[in-house]
Amino acid sequence: MHEVLERRAPHPPSAMGRARLFDHALGAYLGLALGDALGATVEFMTPREIAQRHGVHREILGGGWLQLKPGQVTDDTTMSLALGDALLRGQREGRPFDAKLMADAFVAWWRGKPVDCGNTCRRGIMRYLADGSLEGPLNEGDAGNGALMRNLPVVLATLGRQDRLWQASLEQAHVTHHHPLSDAATLAFGEMLHVLLAQAEPASALPACKGIADALVARHPTFRYQPYPGLATGYVVDTVQTVLHHVFATPDFESAVVGVVNEGGDADTTGALAGMLAGALCGAQALPKRWLAKLDRSVKLAITEQTSALLALALQP
């Protein structure tokens, strides 16, 4: 899987290239938040329950088991923002991609009493607080999707630097999740995002992304997503299968995200990841305006500012 992308130093893009890069990077980040907010309403429901209550769930309504306000996001988005803040702090303090800063950011996020925190994330944060270790031992219980869901800031900060993508992705992941399937999914999605942000045309980006997905399946056949197994749990394999099935079948942003969240299960995370990939493909300008109008304003502002700062970090010599 790691041979798919050529190792290269970043080249400063033209003004037009920078504008396109920002639009598509912002599309990925806002897409993550939109999918999170849409999916949270139906998290832990079955497709039949969703159909009975909503028909096809396609509007940002809030509610759900967390009783969210319309446009409010969950740990998928807020933990990503915490990780992004750690990367930018590392830049300011001369400690680039410092794993301790990442772990400290997760602690601060958790102490801020987020609306939700997955059990594996909580366990990893508590371990770090107890013994200072930045990585737990390999654990069969760590094959959840928590490391994958929050890795977008690392992807944006490492554009053009594949070795740094792999290293920083695994370091942030292992603070809470240390499992080969979690690692493989996190790296594969990072590589797909690098392709989507580097390619000017979807016609060339999608086949390259499918090539990365095929390499993931060849390496770990359990990720095979065609035919779609129909499970959308927090297990990282189910998450990846659900997201790839819908994004590759319907790369239109709204269709992909609506399709994913109506599978139910861990719908905030599958929605966030589908929105991230589809948003990177289409760009922020193409995101549904009615959804953006509902998204929490402070979240939109934080995402916009962080996207710009992370891209500046990536484009440094």
Confidence of residue 104 (pLDDT cuts 50, 70, 90): very high
Enter the tokens of residue 90. 């590392």
Asked if pLDDT for residue 146 goes beyond 80, the answer is yes
- pLDDT at residue 2 is higher than 60: no
Decide: 41 and 59 in contact? Cβ < 8 Å: no
Q: Is the pLDDT of residue 1 over 60?
A: no
Closest among 161, 220, 151 to 189, alpha carbons compared: 151
> Whole-angstrom Cα distance, residue 29 to residue 168?
18
Q: Please say if the pLDDT value at position 204 is more than 90.
A: no
- Average pLDDT in the 70-93 region? 98
CA 228 to CA 192: how far, in whole Å? 20
Average pLDDT over residues 233-257: 96
pLDDT of residue 98 exceeding 70:
yes
Residue 11 has pLDDT above 70, yes or no: no
User: Taking every pair of C-alpha atoms in the chain, what is the biggest distance, in angstroms?
Assistant: 54
Nearby residues of 86 by Cβ (< 8 Å), 6 or more positions away: 98, 101, 102, 104, 105
Radius of gyration of the chain (CA): 18
- Provide the H-helix boundaries in 41-72: 47-54
Q: What ranges in the chain are assigned the alpha helix state H?
A: 15-40, 47-54, 75-92, 99-111, 119-131, 146-149, 152-157, 162-174, 180-198, 202-219, 236-249, 253-261, 267-282, 289-294, 297-314
Give the mean pLDDT of 39-54: 98
Indicate if the pLDDT at residue 16 is higher than 80.
no
Residues 6+ apart with CB under 8 A from 246: 256, 259, 260, 263, 274
Q: What pLDDT score was predicted for residue 4?
A: 38
What's the chain's average pLDDT? 94
* Residue 227: cis peptide before it, omega within 30 degrees of 0: yes
Q: Give the model's confidence band at 17: pLDDT under 50 very low, under 70 low, under 90 confident, else very high.
A: confident
Give the C-alpha separation, 314 to 161, whole Å: 8
Confidence of residue 199 (pLDDT cuts 50, 70, 90): confident
Is the per-residue pLDDT at 192 higher than 90? yes
CA distance 105 to 82: 6
Distances (CA, A) of 48 to 51, 67, 104, 255, 256: 5, 21, 41, 19, 19
Mean pLDDT of 58-68: 97
Considering the chain, what percentage of its residues have pLDDT values greater than 90? 88
Q: 18: which DSSP letter?
A: H
Q: What single letter denotes the amino acid at residue 116? A: D
> pLDDT: is 296 or 15 the higher one?
296
Q: How high is the pLDDT of residue 172?
A: 98
- pLDDT value at position 12? 54
Asked whether the beta carbons of 247 and 159 are under 8 A apart, the reply is no
Domains belonging to the chain, first-starting first, are 16-314 (1.10.4080.10)
- Number of residues that this document lists for the chain: 317
d(CA 176, CA 144): 10
Angle of helix 99-111 versus helix 75-92 axis, rounded to 10: 140
Q: What is the DSSP letter of 13?
A: P
Which pLDDT score is estimated for 13?
61
Cβ atoms of 155 and 190 within 8 Å: the answer is yes
pLDDT at 227 over 90: yes
pLDDT of residue 3: 39
User: Is the predicted pLDDT of residue 236 greater than 80, yes or no?
Assistant: yes
